[in-house]
A and B are shown apart, each in its own frame.
Chain A
Amino acid sequence: QKEVEQDPGPLSVPEGAIVSLNCTYSNSAFQYFMWYRQYSRKGPELLMYTYSSGNKEDGRFTAQVDKSSKYISLFIRDSQPSDSATYLCAFYTGTASKLTFGTGTRLQVML
């Protein structure tokens, strides 16, 4: 079983739609949960960062963590064409040096 599972997409939605992106993980040691956004040919940029189970909201973005199910989600409300990018979930144990990334979900928001 992979440590992190993420549907690669692509996911195409119309402008204004609500987008749901998800990752599952198997490592119980993961304590920090992140979403990075990566535009084509660019480096990833941190979008959302959470520590505990529950929801965290930032503008149109909501990150949700369910530690009991080992499942995290990113919701994008009122999606815009500028949201078209690859979204990477990432995990950190708090003690190791590295982040563990999902493979990324490619999102395209159509006009």
Chain B
Amino acid sequence: NAGVMQNPRHLVRRRGQEARLRCSPVKGHSHVYWYRQLPEEGLKFMVYLQKENIIDESGMPKERFSAEFPKEGPSILRIQQVVRGDSAAYFCASSPLDRAAGELFFGEGSRLTVL
């Protein structure tokens, strides 16, 4: 019974390149969340998606960042024209519709390094 799968686990990009992070939720989970963790900081909410819908993107930077959760396939977090400040661990989490609020299942994260 696979948990949340994220890939790549590690990604190195040069400034100006694009980063694509993928997340497959726990089978049967229809809610996906992306969080960012900077060194010495807590997890910060970025976006909440359901299949084919962005429900809440209040934590997403206004530019260069986008997310999707298509009908088929994994959720994608896309960062265009990366800058050094984007270096962080990006965690995806999922939850089933019928679980109590706040019970999230996290993946192991994708660690982005921008050179």
Say which one of A14-22, A60-68, A77-85, A92-100 lies at the interface with B.
A92-100
Give the size category of A's interface with B: 20 to 34
Mask, B89-103, CB within 8 Å of A = 1, is: 001010000001111
On chain A, the residues within 8 Å of B93 by CB distance are: 43
Q: Looking at A8, A44, A90, A104, which has the most chain B CB atoms within 10 Å of its CB?
A: A44
Which A residues are in CB contact (< 8 Å) with B4? 43
- Whether the pair A32, B106 counts as a contact (CB closer than 8 A) is no
A-B contact count (CB 8 A): 64
Q: Tell me if A44 and B91 are in contact (CB < 8 A).
A: yes
Closest to A98 in B: B45
Q: Are A46 and B55 in contact (CB under 8 A)?
A: no
* A-contacting residues, B54-73, CB 8 Å: 55-56, 58-59
Docked-complex contact A104 and B42, CB < 8 angstroms: yes
B91 in contact with A43 (CB, 8 Å): yes
* Also in contact, A32 and B43, with CB within 8 A (given A42-B108, A97-B48, A97-B55): no
A87 to chain B minimum Cβ distance, whole angstroms, is: 11
Q: How far is the CA of A42 from the CA of B6 in the complex (A)?
A: 11
A8–chain B nearest beta-carbon distance, Å: 7
Q: B40 contacts A98, CB within 8 Å?
A: no
The reply to whether B42 and A98 contact each other, CB–CB distance below 8 Å, is: no
* Contact status A98-B56, CB under 8 Å: yes
CA distance A107 to B106 in the complex (A): 20
Do A43 and B109 form a contact, CB below 8 Å, given A49-B103, A90-B102, A98-B56? yes
Q: State whether B42 touches A102 (Cβ < 8 A).
A: yes
Chain B residue at smallest Cβ distance from A45: B106
Shortest CB-to-CB span from B65 to chain A, Å, is 16
Choose one: A43, A49, A102; the contact of B102 (CB below 8 Å). A49
Contact indicator A103/B106 (Cβ below 8 Å): no
A81 to B107, CA, bound (A): 23
| Residues of chain B in range 30-86 having any CB-CB distance to chain A below 8 Å | 33, 35, 40-45, 48, 55-56, 58-59
